[in-house]
Amino acid sequence: MQRIYRVGTRTSPLALKQVEEVFDVLKKFYPGVEPEVIGIDTYGDKDKVTPVSDIEGTDFFTREIDKALLKNEIDFAVHSAKDLPDELRDGLTIAAITYPIDPFDALVSKSGLTLDKLPEGARIGTSSLRRKEQLNKYRKDFGIVDIRGNIEERLRLLEEPDPDRRSGYLSRSPIGFSLDGIVIAACGLIRLGLSHRITQKIPFDILKPRPLQGSLAIVARQDKKDLIDLFSALDARQRIWQT
């Protein structure tokens, strides 16, 4: 089967890696398929001020891609499964959820110290309300700071002490404010070839990850039965594909 599919995705390096990952597996079943990658900047990519904790469960990171799907401008979309809204737009369906490559949250520490060894009052950058609450429960002395941006931007937040030079977002921080560590999904670092940056994969009894973390979601129109059938080979819900 020779076929090119128009794939909608965000434009970050991680999002492009995720499309590549899907097609690497899909080609094992259908060698002739090829992607035409259509990068779409979502509202969540443009708004780097609103804390992620304020928009969890919404279509903040999928809205524009969903619209392109409904207009038939793309054939399907590839998302981080945890970015899906709690409810999809009418007319759309999840064609597949892949097995997670790694469900853990990861600490990237400037000093190379694990969570239990970080000094009192250490400042930890993260985004989700879930992470903030669990980190504060583990160590009430931590200073938890909102951060936004793609993975590369978040790593730069850790490396550059001057907020004026950062391309990510660090909320309510004075000049010279620095971070001791950041907590992000391990799967993102792994997909980008940045596993060496992981100081610690945080145990589940300290930080329980969000459901579907590490998994990818393929979203298509409900009336595209051929596409839904195509992705059945990748769908972890059917226990067919395992990494």
Q: Return the closest-CA partner of residue 147 out of 122, 173, 121, 174.
A: 173
Q: Which residues of 130-139 are buried (b: 16+ CB within 10 A; e: fewer)?
A: bbbebbeeeb
How do beta strands 181-185 and 123-126 pair?
Answer: parallel
d(CA 65, CA 42): 7
What 3-state class would DSSP assign to 19? helix
Q: Return the closest-CA partner of residue 160 out of 146, 148, 175.
A: 175
To the query of whether residue 83 is one of the catalytic residues in this protein, the response is yes
Check residue 113 and give left, alpha or beta (phi > 0: left; psi -120 to 50: alpha): beta
Task: Report the C-alpha dihedral over residues 86, 214, 12, 223, rounded to 10 degrees.
Answer: -50
Q: Which of 45, 83, 102, 105 is catalytic?
A: 83
Active-site positions read 83
